[in-house]
Amino acid sequence: KLGCTIANKLIELHEEKIDKIYYVCSKNSIKPNHEKIEIVEIFGTHDLEVTVRDLLKNYNINYFIHSMAVSDYTVDYVTTAESLSLNINNNSNKNVLDLICSNKNNLTDSKISSNQDNLIIKLKKTPKIISLIKDISPNTYLVGFKLLDNVSEENLIDTAVKLKDKNNCNLVVANDLENIRKDKLSSEMTIDEYKKEEESLEIRELVSNMFDEDSDTDLTQKEDIQLNAMLDYYKEVVSHGFILDGE
């Protein structure tokens, strides 16, 4: 919902400045509908990585708004405790960790029997998509998102700063899920100025800041972080994102 909301707002406020929006999303996500928006459906993290690399390498992507909640892990293999134990016992001269990581006695059927006991699922890390963006396209304006649950404001800001620094984000939107549950936005920081008073930041401000030709690009740490910039109607974790290719 958030990605779709931002895409629609960009078109509403700055249609004349926009050449095309590449809206990268999963099949079942909420999608915007406009002649300048091209829908790019992906089918998993690997497909997402390939798509992002292709877009960044082949097109002039001016802005990348990464509102997609990408899973940190994916299934490596599924096996049973008996199968894994047998593999370890038959290779007692080898390192147990290596055997677990490279286990080949896996269940390969697309549907696992409901009678199967002692299932073991091994997960593996997925690539961090946000970390690829500036490496491939250093001049792209990158907006990242971070959602934590029931943490202190200091912790939230610190986490947002770390995300910004690690991935060279130009802007980070950080929120506490507990505040969203309570329908309470505790504070905010914008890229133009740090506001001490508590108030909600609407998407209009985010979009305007991105397209403001007079805005200062040499931003302080506080100005780089937008804290609690959710709309009132944004009450859930979003699961789609999009790439903007402007003029």
Residues 61-100 pLDDT 10s = 999 999 887 888 888 888 889 888 988 888 888 899 888 8
By the 8 A CB rule, do 236 and 169 touch? no
Token pair in block for residue 126 = 């997925």
Give the pLDDT confidence score for residue 183 in this predicted structure: 56
Residues 6 or more apart from 243 whose CB is under 8 A from it? Answer: 21, 22, 23, 24, 52, 55, 61, 63, 64, 65
Q: Write the pLDDT tens digit of every residue in 224-240.
A: 443 333 333 333 333 33
As a whole number of angstroms, the distance between CA 204 and CA 232 comes to 13
Sign of CA dihedral 228, 125, 239, 25: positive
Q: Rounded to whole angstroms, how far apart are CA atoms 38 and 235?
A: 26
Q: Quick: pLDDT tens for 144-179.
A: 998 888 888 889 889 999 999 999 999 998 888 887
- Pairing state between β 63-66 and 37-42: unpaired
